[in-house]
Structure formats: structure tokens, C-alpha cells
């Protein structure tokens, strides 16, 4: 049998030194932002019952889940997402909590990705969930949190909004099977105009099919709303579009010109449990979105508690990748002082080191039994000061 | 000046057709035509950069966003799948996926599980899944036509252009699987962040197809 004791599974990696600092910096920056806005952090288990992710509307295909069984033979999964477990908690332990609830998290999710594609199976996501408000101000609060988070990385960014309700309303007007609806959705998601046109042509020409054909092309700035307006077949859908326009205008003002706010009416992703507003965030230089979120007013009711919610998650690995690519490595925190103990003075040296730490220095104890090695170590680590503790007194050196 | 839009072309026939199209649009593709062994080539007046790659790699580079656009056959897209926008059917590189067997062989008869040889296992699997038919699929790297002749397989799922190779080897198409042509694909983020430039290019392409 082959031994795999020296490597990590595909899609996972060890993080060292700078990589680790970047990761933790991003996480801290994000959690600080979330907490400064009143979100309380929560932690859900890494293992959940498969059933949590296998509701009526199964958003996570089982082939993409890491599965195992508990001691009773019940099927467990490694959490592929944080929003569903949080929905479970809200529908159970937080059922009687006062609304709105503002929760945030920073935890790993696991999904099996195709091999040899350079993707991670283990992704850290930091995000917020705002539960119990359907007001526009809730959408704007989440958008402005996302903008603040994107701004914090100091790179060119853009935030994109859409409303999946427009697509859902449109297809509901067609008398077609769920299968065909799903095909239409796939083609809109992939902006596959040739296939979308062919498919819709078979359903006849009417205002609904005309609008659906145009949906994936309707992305960009303010001009999108003017183009979309005349395509919307009824007042109900026009109202959704108007609401989105209001959000777009406000979001632009919130962003204040630091990044771009754009709109895409063709944001209709499969794993979305979203019902209304959808948001995506992009950083220049990264080939995938780093923020994904939206309004999911029906998800928690699948756990038995009917309450609206909106939120988003940031892919921390993605952000780290861009930061590393742009070469903005943060400086490693450097040790200020190395304390060397002559034989018999170990306790005195440890105490002296502690005293220096209390003065605010970063202090290491030298783990050598000769001064030469300790000096060489200090030289290699660029430690400016070596303090030698012997029986008489202390001696300082550069 | 912004950094150029990077477009990955599938080496070979699609590359020639695409360069022809770009020249029709008025771009100076001299560097691409006289490429030697270079793999990244500038198209100066269009602020474009052409990358030459194998079909599967075109998709990989576009998915990761290291190339903004790509030209690749629908055959490769169907086999690989992935997350990108499939924007334009470029119309050239037309052919089809088809199921072929030895001439006169009654493929759908009998209870036995049929064996299919193919270079495109995902395409073949999906085709038979849709029919609710269990099949055994064997991946072949070279001339798939050999497999039924050597009696390794009952049939093949492969790309058919003119059908000459099939005919010369005593095989025939018994069913079409899907039409194929070259597609222009785009990275999902590039299309958003460089909307104006890419949109301009696409409009130009669509006018000249």
C-alpha cells in the first residue's frame, strides 16, 4: 500500500509565515469591520448532518460534499456552507430571539472540487447574516458592509448587484417544466446567448421570452435600467426593477466613487437560495468573485421558521491570493531581543525575558548552550539585541 | 494605457480561423502569423494579446482569469464544462458529435450492456444517461475508429466532420449527439471589470461573422 504520510490531500495546503499572517490579517480586518457594525460572531460545527444540506430545494449537489458517518451510522458532511447551518440555528435556538439579529462568522467550508484544476477544497469564508428585516435599509446595510470590506484591502474593486426575483418572476409566467426552467437558468448564468436564443425560440415569441433573451446582456451601469425597463412585461416585475434601481443609486452614493458599483440582471446562480437582491464582489487581478451573497427570505422557513434574511460571504482564500500575487506581503513581526542564559542562569533569564516582554518588546529565549550559536541565530533572524544573563549581571550586544 | 486584453486561441485550425476573423476586423496579426515558437503574441493596434494553447488549456486559462477571452470548440466545452461565459457562436469549426458503429450493426438490440469507445467520456456518459441506458465507456486517446474494428467496443462517440474516415473503415453514423462549432468564451470577472473593451470587441466580431 502506498504511504501518504508526507503530503496533504489535494485541494488543501499548509500555510506558513507570511501566508499565515496574510490570512489572519484578512480575517481580523473583516471581523473587526463586522463587529464595529454590531454583528455578533458565531461558530457552527465543522460536521453537520447531511439532512441540513438536503432540504426540499437541495442547493448542494451530494457529489460535491465530503461525507462520513457518525458512530450510529448516520450520514454526516463537512460543512459546505455557513449560511444553512446558521439558518438551522436561527430556526431552533434563536427562534425566540428579538429581531433583527445580526450575526457574523469566519470559518472553513469544504467542497470537493475537480482534481488538477488548482482549486481549494477547503475555503475560509468570513461573512454576515442579517435576519428578520425585509426593509430596503437592511439591503443597504449589507451592501455598505460589503463595500467597507472590499475597500479595506486597498485594491481596485467592484461590487455588482442584481435581483434574482426578476428572473424567477419571468420564468414563472411560462408554462414549462422545471427541467426547461433549469436549462434557461443555466444558459443565462453562462451568458450562453446562442443556446439561450435557440431554446427560447422553441417557446414562441412573446414579451416574456424576449425579456429572458436579453437578461444576460443586461449588465453594466445606470444605462442597464433604461434598457431593461421597456422589456419588463408587467407592473410587478417593473416594481422589482425600480427597487433595484433605487438600491443601485444608493449603493453608488455609499461607495462614494472609490470602487465601481455595477448591475447584472443575469446573476442567477444555481447554489443560490436567494430570492431577491444578489451581490457579487470582485477584486482586480482575481479571476473569480471574492464576495457572494444576497437576500434569502425563504431559506430559514425550510427549517420551520418563516423569517427573511440577507447576507454575504467573503472568500478569504481568494483575497489572500490577490494580496500575495500583488506582492503586498506584510512584514513578519520581528523579535526585538534574544535572551541567552549562561549555564545555571536559566530561571533568571526566563524572568528577565518576561520583564522585557512586559515593557512591550518581542522577546525570545535562546535555546543554545553556547553564546556563539545564539549570536549566529540572532544574526540569521535579524534580531537586533542579544542579552546575556550570567551570574554577575547582564551584558548587551548588537 | 490599460494592460492588453488577453485572448487564448486553440492551436491549429481554430487558431487560423480566428486570426482570419481578427484580420477581417482590421487588426494587424503579423506577429501571430510569424510566430515561430513564441506562445504569447501581441496584436499591437487592438491592445490585444494572443495566447496559443491546447483546447483544454484554453478553458483552464480563462476559468482562472489569466486569459480574459478564449476561442475553443463546443466539443471541448461539453467535455470539460466549467465556470465561464459562453458568449458568441463564431460559426467556424463546424462539425458534430455522433454515435457510430460498424456498418449494419444493430446497436440498440439485445440486453447486453454496450461498450462505447471515445475520447470524450463525459459527453458519451451524458448522452447515454439521458437515454437511461447503462453503458461501459472506455477512454481511447488516438484513432477511436479502431476500437469497434478490433471488437473492443460496440460503438464510438466521436467528432464527425465529413465522415470519410468512418466510411473508409467500414463504420457509419447511426445517431447525431450534438452540433459543434467554435465559441468565444470569457472569464466571468474580466467581462465585468473590462466590460467596455470586451463589449466593443464582441460587437465588432458579431458584425463581421
pLDDT in tens, A295-311: 999 999 999 999 999 99
Is there a single domain that holds both residue A311 and residue A352?
no
In a domain? residue A11:
no
- Cβ–Cβ < 8 Å for B171, B151: no
Each residue's pLDDT tens digit, A256-297: 877 789 999 999 977 668 899 999 999 988 999 999 999 999
Each residue's pLDDT tens digit, A189-213: 999 998 999 999 999 899 999 999 9
Q: How many CB pairs under 8 A join A and B?
A: 51
Is there a single domain that holds both residue A201 and residue A128?
yes
> Of A325, A358, A381, which one is at a domain's C-terminal end?
A325
- Cβ–Cβ < 8 Å for B43, B22: yes
Mean pLDDT (chain A, rounded): 91
Domain at B95-180, CATH class: alpha beta
Q: Do A191 and B191 touch (CB under 8 A)?
A: yes
pLDDT of the residue at A87: 96
Is there a single domain that holds both residue A319 and residue A380?
no
CATH of the domain at A383: 3.40.50.800
Q: Give the three-state DSSP class for B18.
A: helix
- Cβ–Cβ < 8 Å for A339, A353: yes
Q: Write the ipTM.
A: 0.83
B-chain residues near A118 (CB < 8 A): 64
A230 shares contact with chain B (CB less than 8 Å): no
Q: Do A194 and B88 touch (CB under 8 A)?
A: yes
Each residue's pLDDT tens digit, B165-197: 999 999 999 999 999 999 999 999 999 989 889
A-chain residues near B192 (CB < 8 A): 158, 160, 219, 262, 264, 282
B40 shares contact with chain A (CB less than 8 Å): no
CATH of the domain at A45: 3.30.930.10
B65 shares contact with chain A (CB less than 8 Å): yes
In a domain? residue A10:
no
Q: State how beta strands A337-341 and A385-389 pair.
A: parallel
Q: Give the three-state DSSP class for B57.
A: helix
pLDDT of the residue at A398: 47
Q: Do B86 and A118 touch (CB under 8 A)?
A: no
Asked whether the domain spanning B95-180 has the same topology as the one spanning B5-93+181-207, the reply is: yes
Nearest in space to A295 (alpha carbons), one of A244, A368, A250, A338: A244
Is there a single domain that holds both residue A173 and residue A283?
yes
Is there a single domain that holds both residue A392 and residue A303?
no
pTM above 0.90, yes or no: no
Is there a single domain that holds both residue A243 and residue A294?
yes
B170: left (phi over 0), alpha (psi -120 to 50) or beta: left
For B195, which of A117, A194, A220 is closest by C-beta distance? A220
For B192, which of A117, A118, A219 is closest by C-beta distance? A219
- CATH architecture of residue range(s) B5-93+181-207: 3-Layer(aba) Sandwich (3.40)
Q: How far apart are CA A382 and CA A378, in angstroms?
A: 6
For B189, which of A117, A219, A288 is closest by C-beta distance? A288
| Radius of gyration of chain A from its Cα atoms, rounded to whole angstroms | 27
Helix (H) or strand (E) holding A143: helix A136-152
Give yes or no for residue B72 having a pLDDT over 50. yes
Q: Where are the domains of chain B?
A: 5-93+181-207, 95-180
Domain that holds residue A374: 337-397
Q: Give the three-state DSSP class for A94.
A: coil
A73 shares contact with chain B (CB less than 8 Å): no
pLDDT of the residue at A328: 66
What is the total count of domains within chain A? Answer: 2
Amino acid at each position: 500500500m502506498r504511504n501518504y504520510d508526507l503530503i496533504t490531500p489535494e485541494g488543501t495546503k499548509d500555510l506558513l509565515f507570511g501566508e499565515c499572517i496574510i490570512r489572519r490579517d484578512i480575517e481580523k480586518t473583516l471581523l473587526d469591520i463586522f463587529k464595529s457594525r454590531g454583528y455578533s460572531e458565531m461558530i457552527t460545527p465543522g460536521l453537520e448532518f447531511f439532512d441540513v444540506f438536503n432540504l426540499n430545494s437541495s442547493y448542494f449537489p451530494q457529489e460535491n460534499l465530503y461525507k462520513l458517518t457518525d458512530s450510529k451510522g448516520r450520514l454526516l458532511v463537512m460543512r459546505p456552507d455557513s449560511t444553512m447551518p446558521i439558518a438551522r440555528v436561527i430556526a431552533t435556538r434563536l427562534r425566540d430571539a428579538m429581531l433583527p439579529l445580526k450575526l457574523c462568522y469566519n470559518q472553513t467550508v469544504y467542497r470537493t472540487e475537480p482534481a488538477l484544476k488548482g482549486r481549494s477544497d477547503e475555503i475560509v469564508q468570513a461573512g454576515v447574516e442579517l435576519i428578520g428585516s425585509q426593509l430596503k435599509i437592511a439591503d443597504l446595510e449589507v451592501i455598505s458592509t460589503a463595500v467597507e470590506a472590499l475597500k479595506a484591502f486597498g485594491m481596485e474593486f467592484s461590487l455588482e448587484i442584481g435581483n434574482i426575483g426578476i428572473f424567477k418572476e419571468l420564468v414563472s409566467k411560462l408554462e414549462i417544466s422545471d427541467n426547461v426552467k433549469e436549462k434557461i437558468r443555466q444558459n443565462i448564468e453562462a451568458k450562453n446567448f446562442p443556446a439561450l436564443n435557440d431554446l427560447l425560440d422553441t417557446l414562441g415569441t412573446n414579451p416574456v421570452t424576449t425579456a429572458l433573451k436579453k437578461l444576460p446582456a443586461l449588465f453594466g451601469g445606470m444605462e442597464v435600467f433604461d434598457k431593461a425597463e421597456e422589456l419588463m412585461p408587467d407592473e410587478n416585475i417593473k416594481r422589482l426593477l425600480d427597487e433595484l434601481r433605487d438600491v443601485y443609486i444608493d449603493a453608488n452614493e455609499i461607495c462614494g466613487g472609490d470602487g465601481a458599483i455595477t448591475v447584472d440582471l443575469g446573476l442567477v446562480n444555481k447554489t443560490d437560495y436567494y430570492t431577491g437582491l444578489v451581490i457579487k464582489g470582485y477584486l482586480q487581478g482575481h479571476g473569480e468573485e471574492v464576495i457572494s451573497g444576497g437576500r434569502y427570505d425563504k431559506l430559514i422557513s425550510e427549517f420551520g421558521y418563516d423569517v427573511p434574511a440577507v447576507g454575504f460571504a467573503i472568500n478569504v482564500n481568494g483575497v489572500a491570493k490577490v494580496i500575495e500575487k500583488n506582492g503586498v506581503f506584510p512584514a513578519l513581526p520581528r523579535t526585538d531581543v534574544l535572551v541567552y542564559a549562561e549555564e545555571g542562569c536559566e530561571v533568571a533569564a526566563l524572568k528577565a525575558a518576561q520583564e522585557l516582554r512586559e515593557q512591550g518588546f518581542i522577546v525570545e529565549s535562546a535555546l543554545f548552550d553556547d553564546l556563539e550559536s545564539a549570536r549566529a541565530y540572532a544574526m540569521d533572524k535579524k534580531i537586533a539585541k542579544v542579552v546575556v544573563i550570567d551570574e554577575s549581571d547582564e551584558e548587551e550586544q548588537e | 494605457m490599460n494592460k492588453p486584453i488577453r485572448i487564448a486561441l486553440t492551436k491549429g485550425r481554430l487558431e487560423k480561423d480566428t486570426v482570419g476573423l481578427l484580420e477581417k476586423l482590421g487588426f494587424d496579426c503579423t506577429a501571430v502569423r510569424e510566430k515561430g515558437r513564441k506562445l504569447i503574441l501581441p496584436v499591437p493596434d487592438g491592445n490585444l494579446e494572443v495566447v496559443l494553447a491546447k483546447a483544454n488549456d484554453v478553458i483552464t486559462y480563462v476559468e482562472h482569469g489569466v486569459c480574459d477571452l478564449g476561442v475553443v470548440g463546443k466539443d471541448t466545452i461539453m467535455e470539460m464544462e466549467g465556470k465561464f461565459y459562453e458568449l458568441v457562436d463564431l460559426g467556424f469549426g463546424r462539425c458534430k458529435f455522433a454515435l457510430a458503429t460498424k456498418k449494419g450493426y444493430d446497436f440498440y438490440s439485445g440486453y447486453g450492456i454496450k461498450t462505447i469507445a471515445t475520447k470524450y467520456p463525459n459527453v458519451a456518459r451524458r448522452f447515454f444517461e439521458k437515454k437511461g441506458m447503462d453503458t461501459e465507456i472506455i477512454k481511447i486517446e488516438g484513432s477511436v475508429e479502431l476500437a469497434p474494428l478490433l471488437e473492443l467496443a460496440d460503438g464510438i462517440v466521436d467528432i464527425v466532420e465529413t465522415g470519410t474516415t468512418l466510411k473508409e473503415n467500414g463504420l457509419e453514423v447511426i445517431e447525431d449527439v450534438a452540433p459543434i462549432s467554435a465559441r468565444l468564451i470569457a472569464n466571468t470577472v474580466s467581462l465585468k471589470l473590462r466590460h467596455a473593451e470586451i463589449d466593443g470587441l464582441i460587437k465588432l466580431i458579431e458584425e463581421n461573422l
